[in-house]
A and B are shown apart, each in its own frame.
Chain A
């Protein structure tokens, strides 16, 4: 079977096929060989038989524990030749059951949609009441490097003691790396929050830290791990409250 001019050892490729571990290139080669020589099927069947003999090697101490599985199985086998009307009744009850199930699923999904809509409405009402408050401020965040596509803003509502950080086009980070928000006041940088973007590269972060509310500017860095005391990574996004 082994032919030195071939890119693969045919026997090993057949074994790999039975074990389900061929890569794309090996599979393509295997299919070519099989098309050229359909008798290889015989070898595949033999290898499948061999692989499935492995359970015979299992220890005998694992037993049925005297359970009467045999009679339980035979008691559940349905004899053939069930009268015709019974089959129809099965089909009708099957269709009815499937219909009821579909209606149930439909009902459940409708209730979920209503709950989600109520939830969204509630969030929007909260947002509107937040936006209506006086003294709100919006800080635009700018990338320090033109190559960075990330943009966003920090919305500050001093009356509600709340700030909301919104960012888009953030890259996901490898390993333990996180994005970290820093509040800058009198040249002192205070770490406020770690975050990572969602699958769409977006961040919506509620920040209630006094440090952010009372800062003169904020910046965002990429840190090697969460909760660093001083910024170790380069600042790539920043915004100054004074610009408002």
Chain B
């Protein structure tokens, strides 16, 4: 069990293990660390606040029954984001097949962040990571950034991106692969922590 006073020092993996053993408050800690990030990722992909809230809840609740996380295979953070992205891509595909997705693309609501559940330490740490990631993305060429974002946030395949941007498939692959390698060089310290 984790004390709230020293919870910042405990790894995600240890907190998750506590949750699996039945400590419900541990899920609260994981939510405090990544809830808003999960919500933002889903919101960026679905562009619908109600659906994003529902899916965020669904993903955190699924952690109770989901046993696919393997600490040897990835960090908890990577697992959580992969889970989030794959569930959201499933929703996107359903929405696209229903023809509603493209009508909503491009609309981003203006709202001011009022999130209070982070402790000051976590805010600084999440804030630092955000700054580094934004800088790293800015350091990519615009083609690399655009293709990586289309692939990551919209779940488009490389051939779909090739058609959308009217760029040859080989070029799309080169841009996305080199973009990811460049990101790894720029975010090396973060990638080995997360």
Contact = CB atoms under 8 A, between A and B. Distances in A.
A, B in one complex: yes
Interface of A: 11-12, 15-16, 18-19, 21, 45-58, 60-67, 69-70, 72-74, 76-81
A45 B111 contact: no
B24 A62 contact: no
Nearest to B179: A15
Contacts of B184: 46-47, 50
Given A19-B176, A56-B133, A65-B49, A49 B194 contact: yes
Contacts of A67: 53
Contacts of A69: 31, 35, 39, 53, 56-57
A16 B148 CA distance: 12
Contact of B39 (A64, A78, A79): A64
- Name the prevailing secondary structure of the B interface residues: helix
Query: By CB atoms of chain B within 10 A, which of A72, A73, A81 has the most?
Result: A73
Nearest to A16: B177
14 contacts: A12-B174, A15-B180, A15-B181, A16-B177, A45-B75, A46-B192, A48-B74, A53-B194, A57-B136, A61-B108, A63-B111, A70-B32, A76-B57, A77-B27
Interface string B80-110: 0110010000000000000000000000111
A86 to B, nearest CB: 16
Given A49-B75, A50-B187, A74-B24, A63 B133 contact: no
A46 B151 contact: no
Contacts of B40: 55, 58, 62-63
B28 A81 contact: no
Nearest to B49: A65
Contacts of A70: 28, 31-32, 35, 117
B28 A60 contact: no
Interface residues of B, number: 68
B41 A80 contact: no
A47 B157 CA distance: 18
A16 B173 contact: yes
A21 to B, nearest CB: 4
Contact of B152 (A11, A16, A47, A51): A51
Contacts of B43: 62
Contacts of B78: 45, 48-49, 52
B192 A49 contact: yes
B57 A53 contact: no
A45 B157 CA distance: 21
B149 interface: yes
A74 B114 contact: no
B129 interface: yes
B115 interface: yes
A57 B31 CA distance: 19
A53 B39 CA distance: 14
B108 A62 contact: yes
Contacts of A53: 129, 133, 183, 187, 190-191, 194
A50 B129 contact: no
Contact of B129 (A56, A60, A66, A72): A56
B130 interface: yes
